[in-house]
Homo-oligomer: A and B are copies of this chain.
């Protein structure tokens, strides 16, 4: 599949290779006439520049990489959307990778991204140890989304998980609930912050926290609720779930146990993924500005590339989206 090179285009257009290079990079210092000749030749040959050779020669790259910890989580898909939009707007190219929520695979994925010598990389919800992140940050500008870090060499974009869980609790308390449980996200990114926010909000309201171990999946959410039910104690009247998937799993298990949502138990999710917005699900949840987070991450990276050195740590304000899975205590659907 011998693709044409710059040399071929130059020969066909009757100019030098350097001139072709200038045209390809959109330099203003080329006469109209030659520019057209070159463009025509390139068109006829089906030529397009070899990105790798370019970045090798220029020692600069227009490639930004993104390692997505979990492509199956709609939250990240939407962050990627924003990231992609900002990246392409600014003339960079995006390549994506995935680590499948496994530290080992994520590490490999990050190394892979780095071996392209990108201008920068973004890690979306990584679960690798901090040391891996620090190592990667030595090799390339790096921005973290949905993962905190104090390193001065990395930028971070997060929503304030503490505030977010607080919003959920406040909402439920406002509806009269007192017995509110939290399904914990386990080792997932941001899980400990969300738990912390839940606990302190409960204490602030003079209520007793109840944290149930779980994970960021629907099966884990269902399992946690089944545990709660079979434990036999008084059932909470409301649940603050680890995230939307977890919430949906919890709802299923509640319904299986004969408890209606929201009449018997209110449930709040987290992330406001497209799943929560599905009318059939219609989940009350905490919204993170996912698209915006993606854009900010891209911008942080690009600013680094352009020379910024002080770290940027953005903490975005989550907001509550009230839908149909929460209702006043003992009451009707509003």
When chains A and B are docked, how far (Å) is the Cα of A66 from the Cα of B77?
Answer: 15
**A55 interface residue, CB < 8 Å from B?**
yes
Structural contact, B56 and A52, CB atoms closer than 8 A:
yes
Structural contact, B115 and A51, CB atoms closer than 8 A:
yes
Structural contact, A71 and B72, CB atoms closer than 8 A:
no
Known contacts A95-B96, A98-B80; A252 and B278 CB within 8 A of each other: yes
Structural contact, A97 and B100, CB atoms closer than 8 A:
no
Contact flags A51-78 to B (C-beta < 8 A → 1, else 0): 1110110000000000000011010011
**A1 interface residue, CB < 8 Å from B?**
yes
**A306 interface residue, CB < 8 Å from B?**
no
Structural contact, A279 and B114, CB atoms closer than 8 A:
no
**A7 interface residue, CB < 8 Å from B?**
no
**A228 interface residue, CB < 8 Å from B?**
no
Structural contact, A252 and B280, CB atoms closer than 8 A:
yes
Instruction: List CB contacts (< 8 Å) of A93-109 with chain B.
Output: 93-98, 100, 108
Instruction: List CB contacts (< 8 Å) of A1-52 with chain B.
Output: 1, 3, 46, 48-52
Contacting residues, chain B, for A248 (C-beta < 8 A): 278-281
From B80, B94, B98, B275, contact of A275 by CB (8 A): B275
When chains A and B are docked, how far (Å) is the Cα of A219 from the Cα of B78?
Answer: 17
**A80, A93, A275, A278 — most chain B CB neighbours (10 Å):** A278
When chains A and B are docked, how far (Å) is the Cα of A21 from the Cα of B105?
Answer: 25
Contacting residues, chain B, for A249 (C-beta < 8 A): 278-280
Instruction: List CB contacts (< 8 Å) of A259-309 with chain B.
Output: 274-275, 278-282
**A147 interface residue, CB < 8 Å from B?**
no
Contacting residues, chain B, for A252 (C-beta < 8 A): 278-280, 282
When chains A and B are docked, how far (Å) is the Cα of A280 from the Cα of B251?
Answer: 7
Structural contact, A52 and B55, CB atoms closer than 8 A:
yes
Cβ distance A326 to chain B, nearest Cβ, rounded Å: 15
| Sample (9) of A-B pairs whose CB atoms are under 8 Å apart | A1-B138, A46-B138, A50-B117, A53-B56, A81-B100, A94-B97, A218-B280, A248-B280, A275-B275
Structural contact, A49 and B115, CB atoms closer than 8 A:
yes
**A139 interface residue, CB < 8 Å from B?**
yes
Contacting residues, chain B, for A133 (C-beta < 8 A): none
Cβ distance A251 to chain B, nearest Cβ, rounded Å: 5
From B46, B80, B222, contact of A279 by CB (8 A): B222
Instruction: List CB contacts (< 8 Å) of A107-134 with chain B.
Output: 108, 111-112, 114-117
Contacting residues, chain B, for A50 (C-beta < 8 A): 56, 115, 117
Structural contact, B140 and A1, CB atoms closer than 8 A:
yes
Instruction: List CB contacts (< 8 Å) of A75-91 with chain B.
Output: 77-78, 80-81, 84, 88
Structural contact, A97 and B98, CB atoms closer than 8 A:
no
Contacting residues, chain B, for A98 (C-beta < 8 A): 80, 84, 96
